[in-house]
A and B are shown apart, each in its own frame.
Chain A
Amino acid sequence: MNQCIRFEEVTKYYSEKKIVDNVSLSIEKGEFVTVLGPSGSGKTTMLKMINGIVQPDSGSIYVYNQDVSKCDIVNLRRRIGYVVQETVLFPHLDIYHNISYVPSLIGISKSKTKRRVRDLVDMLQLDKSMLKRYCDELSGGEKQRIGIARALAASPDIMLMDEPFGALDPETRAILQDELLRIWKELHMTIFFITHDVNEAEKLGSRILVMNEGVLEDKVPSACCELS
């Protein structure tokens, strides 16, 4: 079995309050997992445990069969694309250097990075002239595309995306959803995608999970419900 991410009886408290409640989950390579759930239900906390920003109080998380709490976390993170909730870009870097942030951490050569950024600009249909600009001059949709380009820059196999399209107007959101699906199919990635929008979860996910007060369940596909 091509296991990619695995939660084993993971529980997390924030000051007495159980935020993630005994979650066990196994995600296989190439899956597009969408996680649904109301605000405050523990989705972000769960996602941050995958790249080790948050540590569980009990249980373990494995990425590529490596225990996240025991492996070389910096290297692991560089192989995981990360699109933060509300996509924070680095305000002091221009777009080019935002996109090439992870390659620059790894020390990938300038010419290689340049080619990679050019490919990403094409892939996400960005305007080349934008590369020298700073994030405060961009629209919400453009920022999201750049956030995704940045996450993809070091060619990760896993993408963690925390409500990336939450703040966009419906039209832009639909376009970006289509592009994300195209990229996912093209690059055969594993995507862990958080949203609180049911339609988005259904449109994108090859598998849909629901989080509710820290408890995780598989969602019964709506198509089957309509049948019954």
Chain B
Amino acid sequence: MLKETLKIVVDRYDFFIPLIIEHIYISAIAVTIATVIGLSLGIFISEYKITRGPVLGITNIIYTIPSIALLGFMLPLTGVGNLTAIITLILYALLPIIRNTFTGITNISNTVIEAADGMGSTKLQLLTRIKLPLAFPIILSGFRNMVVMTIALAGIASFIGAGGLGVAIYRGISTNNTPMILAGSILIALMAFISDLVLGFCIKLIERKKYFELKLITVVICLIIIVSLAYGTLSNRAEISIASKPATEQFILTEILKIIIEDRTDIDVKIYKGIGATGSMHDGLVKGDFDIYPEYTGTAWAYILKRDLNSCLDASGNITICDREQMKTELQKTYEDDFKLTWVSYYGFANSYGIAVKNEIAKKYNLKTYSDLARVSKNLVFGAEYDFYEREDGYYPLVKKYDFSFKDIMDMDLGLKYKAIESGEVDAVLIYTTDGEISDLDVTVLIDDRKFFHDYFVGNIARKDLIKKYPDLLDILMLLNNLLTEKEMSELNYQVDILKIEDKEVARNFLISKGVLKK
């Protein structure tokens, strides 16, 4: 495992190095700002001791809020991306620096301060020439804590779309790629460890009063930070931001979008991978945190429009099941009118729920449709992940509609589902029609002949003002219309999930094979 992790770092150094630089960039900005604010507040509360209680109290409370929760609070205020991450990191970083500045200054022996005062130091001279230098070792040890903590915490910040090495971890989690998770984590730990060593060494230098060496190290650290700041601000010049939910399929689709836009225009595209569930994706897009993201029609219908599948009107005014085109038309209208968003192009496939059975079972009972399955279901075991048994469009309504009566049902993890059907532990299993694993298994996907499941066609939702700003974009996005079949998507997912090929590469190769992109 360690070997694979090392290999992934070496092979994909061009993926990791920008992440490392961005990690430094985010941490450095947070640390710098937190130091300025924290030092000022620390000095303030040591001069005006009455303010000490409230200031330390508030920072203490912030410090105890779990980081995921704090990121969650900040999200509606400042949106997805690096800004929210940096603000959150600053909030956490404040406590150690304020507390140590305060402790450092108040711990200075009174006689030293009185001596300097009695010799005619002004208040400012007393602060800069006596108090701060004497408190410096304690302040620096607070700084050391803060830096290590910030570097570690910055890894979590990719959950709200910030960059840095957390991206690798998050990517690894969503594509079930353990070496990737390990690589991200180890690199973060390594960065924190190195900072800890260097700052510890600085504290030693101060204790031994080796100020020259200290200055040298400070200059080197400043250089590293300046370089990553420069890199960070330059690379942050993206003009279009594209976001994705945390799923392999969405990663590939956003890479496809980026490649095609950057190929046909001079626009820079930045991808925020794995932002969150439908709700936060929608809010972020409406607010303009990003400009485009891929969404599923059925999901938008149910979660954003809050409509039932059986809520459309037919020609004579009766309530019926919505047909595909009707759904798309109504979605487009509501999105344009209510949200100033537009569904630009549909990739041509749907990622829906489906039921798959082992080939030998399909052959044995001659199964093609769900109704076929219902006939023999009392001989079979059915498996699905936990939440399918809870959903309103889940197991029990499905059983009712088709009159299934499985011999047994099992709930299992997403990842274990496919292993279970391979080993024969279950006979029929719930799938997503584009899951990468399907193309690797001896299974038959049955037909939902009585239309129980929604259609989950994948399209791109874009902000209308983006299209207004770049009218050419419409044609470019239309290049993606009907580009992929369900089978092709499942193959691409397979390449990323199972073969562990980088999503960017999978996307590029696919576009080349389709002739959309020249080699």
B211 to chain A, nearest CB (A): 10
- A74 engages B120 (CB within 8 Å): yes
Quick one: closest A residue to B126, CB to CB?
A105
For chain B, residues 91 to 129, give those with C-beta under 8 angstroms from any C-beta of chain A.
Answer: 109, 111-112, 114-122, 125, 129
Q: Is A90 an interface residue (CB 8 A)?
A: yes
- A92 engages B133 (CB within 8 Å): yes
- A53 engages B120 (CB within 8 Å): no
Contact with B along A74-86 (1 / 0, CB 8 A): 1111111010111
Q: Is A88 an interface residue (CB 8 A)?
A: yes
Contacts of B125 in A (CB 8 A): 105
Quick one: closest A residue to B113, CB to CB?
A88
Quick one: closest B residue to A101, CB to CB?
B119
Contacts of B122 in A (CB 8 A): 74, 105
B140 to chain A, nearest CB (A): 13
Q: Is B134 an interface residue (CB 8 A)?
A: yes
Quick one: closest A residue to B122, CB to CB?
A74
- B134 engages A91 (CB within 8 Å): yes
Contact with B along A87-117 (1 / 0, CB 8 A): 0101110100000011011100000000000
A-B pairs under 8 A by CB, number: 59
- B120 engages A78 (CB within 8 Å): yes
- B111 engages A90 (CB within 8 Å): no
Contacts of A51 in B (CB 8 A): 118
Q: Is B286 an interface residue (CB 8 A)?
A: no
Quick one: closest B residue to A72, CB to CB?
B120
- B112 engages A90 (CB within 8 Å): yes
CA distance A134 to B211 in the complex (A): 13
- B119 engages A82 (CB within 8 Å): yes
- B116 engages A77 (CB within 8 Å): no
- Given A84-B111, A105-B125, A134-B209, the answer on whether A90 and B116 have CB atoms closer than 8 Å is yes
Contacts of A104 in B (CB 8 A): 129
Contacts of A78 in B (CB 8 A): 119-120
Q: Which of B111, B119, B121, B134 has the most CB of A within 10 A?
A: B119
Contacts of A150 in B (CB 8 A): 119
Contacts of A48 in B (CB 8 A): 114, 118
Contacts of A134 in B (CB 8 A): 209
CA distance A185 to B111 in the complex (A): 30
Q: Is B130 an interface residue (CB 8 A)?
A: yes
CA distance A181 to B113 in the complex (A): 29
CA distance A86 to B119 in the complex (A): 16
Contact with B along A30-69 (1 / 0, CB 8 A): 0000000000000000001001010000000000000000
Contact with B along A108-137 (1 / 0, CB 8 A): 000000000000000000000000001000
Q: Which of B109, B116, B118, B121 has the most CB of A within 10 A?
A: B118
- A102 engages B120 (CB within 8 Å): yes
- A53 engages B209 (CB within 8 Å): no
User: When the two chains form the complex, which single residue of B118, B133, B134, B209 contacts A82, counting CB atoms closer than 8 Å?
Assistant: B118
CA distance A92 to B130 in the complex (A): 8
User: When the two chains form the complex, which single residue of A53, A75, A86, A91 contacts B118, counting CB atoms closer than 8 Å?
Assistant: A53
Quick one: closest B residue to A81, CB to CB?
B119
- B119 engages A77 (CB within 8 Å): yes
- B115 engages A88 (CB within 8 Å): yes
Quick one: closest A residue to B111, CB to CB?
A88
Q: Which of A77, A105, A134, A160 has the most CB of B within 10 A?
A: A105
CA distance A106 to B121 in the complex (A): 9
- Given A91-B134, A105-B120, A134-B209, the answer on whether A82 and B111 have CB atoms closer than 8 Å is no
Contacts of A82 in B (CB 8 A): 115, 118-119
- A75 engages B133 (CB within 8 Å): no
Contacts of B118 in A (CB 8 A): 48, 51, 53, 77, 82, 84, 160
- Given A53-B114, A82-B115, A88-B112, the answer on whether A75 and B120 have CB atoms closer than 8 Å is yes
Q: Which of A48, A80, A85, A88 has the most CB of B within 10 A?
A: A88
Contacts of A85 in B (CB 8 A): 111
- A105 engages B115 (CB within 8 Å): no
For chain B, residues 311 to 327, give those with C-beta under 8 angstroms from any C-beta of chain A.
Answer: none
Contacts of B111 in A (CB 8 A): 84-86, 88
Q: Which of B112, B120, B130, B136 has the most CB of A within 10 A?
A: B120
- B134 engages A102 (CB within 8 Å): no
Contacts of A101 in B (CB 8 A): 116, 119, 129
CA distance A48 to B117 in the complex (A): 11
CA distance A76 to B117 in the complex (A): 12
CA distance A105 to B136 in the complex (A): 20
CA distance A102 to B121 in the complex (A): 8
CA distance A53 to B115 in the complex (A): 10
A166 to chain B, nearest CB (A): 14
Contacts of A84 in B (CB 8 A): 111, 114-115, 118
Quick one: closest B residue to A78, CB to CB?
B120
Cβ-closest 7 pairs across A and B: A77-B120, A78-B120, A84-B115, A92-B133, A82-B118, A88-B111, A88-B115
A-B pairs with beta carbons under 8 Å apart, 23 shown: A48-B114, A53-B118, A74-B120, A77-B118, A78-B119, A78-B120, A79-B120, A82-B118, A82-B119, A84-B111, A84-B118, A85-B111, A88-B111, A88-B115, A90-B112, A90-B134, A91-B134, A92-B133, A92-B134, A101-B116, A101-B129, A102-B119, A105-B121
Interface residues of A (CB under 8 A from B): 48, 51, 53, 74-80, 82, 84-86, 88, 90-92, 94, 101-102, 104-106, 134, 150, 160
A75-B120, A77-B120, A91-B134 are known; give 9 further A-B pairs, CB within 8 A. Answer: A77-B117, A77-B119, A78-B120, A80-B120, A82-B119, A84-B115, A94-B209, A101-B116, A105-B129
